[in-house]
Amino acid sequence: MSFVTSQILLYAQRSMPAIVNVNGRISDQAHAAISVFDHGFLYGEGVYETLRTYNGQPFLFDRHMRRLRTSAGMLALSVPLTDGEIDARFRDTVRAAGLGDGPDREAYIRILVTRGIGELTYDPAACPTPSVVVIVKPNVDPAPEVFERGVKVTLVSTVRNHPGSVNPLIKSNNLINNALAMQEAFRQGSFEGIMRNYRGELAECTQSNFFIVRDGVALTPPIDAGLLPGITRAFVFEVGAEADIDVREAVLKDADLFGADECFLTSTTREIVPIVQVDDRKIGSGVPGRVTQTLLNAFRAKARALSIHQPAIS
Ligand SMILES: Cc1ncc(COP(=O)(O)O)c(C=O)c1O
C-alpha cells in the first residue's frame, strides 16, 4: 500500500462518526451542539486534552487531568468537575460509543473545557458556567508503514508562540499557531511540521514533541524552549530509563536535527513515530533507527502492562 493510499484510508477511518457528551448530554455527532455565544467558539477561550485507551482504560488519565487543570488555571478558567466526575463522563461516553470492551475497540477521547456562554466581552465574569464537551471515536493508530518506514517532516517557517504571548504550556483550544504551521507541512506532503521558537531553537511539532538521537542518547528540547510538556514525551524518559537508553533535555538547533543519527516524534495518538526525512534531507541512514525502535517496543509493552491490571470499562 502506498503512503498516500494509507493516509486516505486513515482519514476514512478517522472520519467515522463520534459520540459526543455536551455538558452531560450524550448524542451522536450530528446532534451535538454548542451555543455560538460560547467563548470557546467566539474567542478560542478553552483548554483540551486528548487521551486514548489501552485495554479499554484511558491511558495516564491522572497526568492528563493534572495538565488539563494547569492549562485551565493559566486562563483563569475553572474545571467544573472533579477527576472522578470526568472519569465517569468518559466511561459513559465510551460505553455509548460501543468502545473500550475489546482489543480492536480502543477509544480516542477528547475533552474540551471552555469559558462557557456569555455576552460579547472578554470579561470572564460574563460566563458563569464553563462548558465541558467529551468527544469519543474509535482510536485509529497510524498505518503500520508509518512505524516501519518512518515519515518525512517539514521544518516550518511559522514560529512557535512566544511564551509571553499564548504560552505553549497551555493546551489551548486556540490552535491557530499549530494549524498555520501544519498547513506548511501539508503543502510539502509531510506527516508533521517542526517549529522553532522565537530564539531560533527547535521547539516541537504542531501536534507532537520530537527527539533526536545522537551517539545513542535521545535528546529533546527543554520545556523552557516553549513547548507543550507532552505526556508521551515524559513517558519516554521513564521508558528510556527502563530500557537502558539515556534520554535527556538539550537545546537543539537546525544543525543538530540534520546531523542526527535518528529522529522521532511522540504523542498520545501516535506513540513514537520515526522521522527519516526533514525537508529534502535524509536523517541518519534514512530508515528507522535502533534506539527509536527499542523505545517504541518498550513504550508499547509498558503502556499495555500499565493498563492491564485495572478492570476494563464496563
Ligand atoms: C503542540 C503539541 N505538542 C505536543 C503534543 C504531544 O502531547 P501528548 O504526548 O501529551 O499527546 C501535542 C498533542 O496534542 C501537541 O498538540
Looking at the fold, whether 104 and 158 belong to one and the same domain comes out as: no
Looking at the fold, whether 182 and 271 belong to one and the same domain comes out as: yes
Which residue, by CA, sits nearest to atom 7 of ligand 1? 230
- Chain centroid offset of residue 154 CA: 18
Looking at the fold, whether 45 and 193 belong to one and the same domain comes out as: no
* Final residue in a domain of this structure, among 94, 118, 138: 138
Whether 314 is covered by a domain: the verdict is no
- Residues 129 and 195: their CA atoms lie apart, in Å, by 35
Classify strands 57-58 and 46-54 as parallel, antiparallel or unpaired. antiparallel
Look at residue 16 in the predicted model and tell me its pLDDT.
Answer: 77
Look at residue 310 in the predicted model and tell me its pLDDT.
Answer: 54
Per-residue pLDDT reduced to its tens digit, 248-291: 999 999 999 999 999 999 999 999 999 999 999 999 999 999 99
233 lines ligand 1 (CB under 6 A): yes
- Number of structural domains in the chain: 2
50 lines ligand 1 (CB under 6 A): yes
pLDDT along the chain (314 residues), means of 10: 53 74 97 97 98 95 98 98 98 95 90 98 97 97 97 98 97 98 98 98 98 98 98 98 98 98 98 98 98 98 83 49
Whether 279 is covered by a domain: the verdict is yes
Cell 493559566 belongs to 74
Looking at the fold, whether 120 and 168 belong to one and the same domain comes out as: no
Looking at the fold, whether 171 and 283 belong to one and the same domain comes out as: yes
161 lines ligand 1 (CB under 6 A): no
Residue 276 has φ and ψ, to the nearest 5°, of -115, -5
Look at residue 313 in the predicted model and tell me its pLDDT.
Answer: 52
Looking at the fold, whether 187 and 74 belong to one and the same domain comes out as: no
Looking at the fold, whether 225 and 164 belong to one and the same domain comes out as: yes
Look at residue 4 in the predicted model and tell me its pLDDT.
Answer: 52
Of residues 234, 224, 196, the one with CA closest to residue 64: 234
How much distance in Å is there from the Cα of 281 to the middle of ligand 1?
25
Report the CATH number at residue 32.
Answer: 3.30.470.10
Task: Say which residues have a Cβ less than 8 Å from residue 312's Cβ, sequence separation at least 6.
Answer: 55, 56, 57, 100, 101
How much distance in Å is there from the Cα of 121 to the middle of ligand 1?
30
Looking at residue 288, what DSSP letter applies?
-
* Residue span of the structural domain in which 244 resides: 144-305
Looking at the fold, whether 24 and 120 belong to one and the same domain comes out as: yes
173 lines ligand 1 (CB under 6 A): no
Q: Quick one: cell of 111?
A: 475533552
How much distance in Å is there from the Cα of 207 to the middle of ligand 1?
5
How much distance in Å is there from the Cα of 80 to the middle of ligand 1?
23
Q: Quick one: cell of 37?
A: 455565544
Look at residue 312 in the predicted model and tell me its pLDDT.
Answer: 46
Cell 472519569 belongs to 87
Pocket test for ligand 1, best of 54, 204, 267 (most atoms within 8 A of CB): 267
Q: What is the b/e burial string over 42-74, where b = at least 16 CB atoms within 10 angstroms of the residue's CB?
A: beebbbbbbbbbbbbbbbbbeebbebbbebbee
Whether 39 is covered by a domain: the verdict is yes
Looking at the fold, whether 62 and 203 belong to one and the same domain comes out as: no
Looking at the fold, whether 74 and 45 belong to one and the same domain comes out as: yes
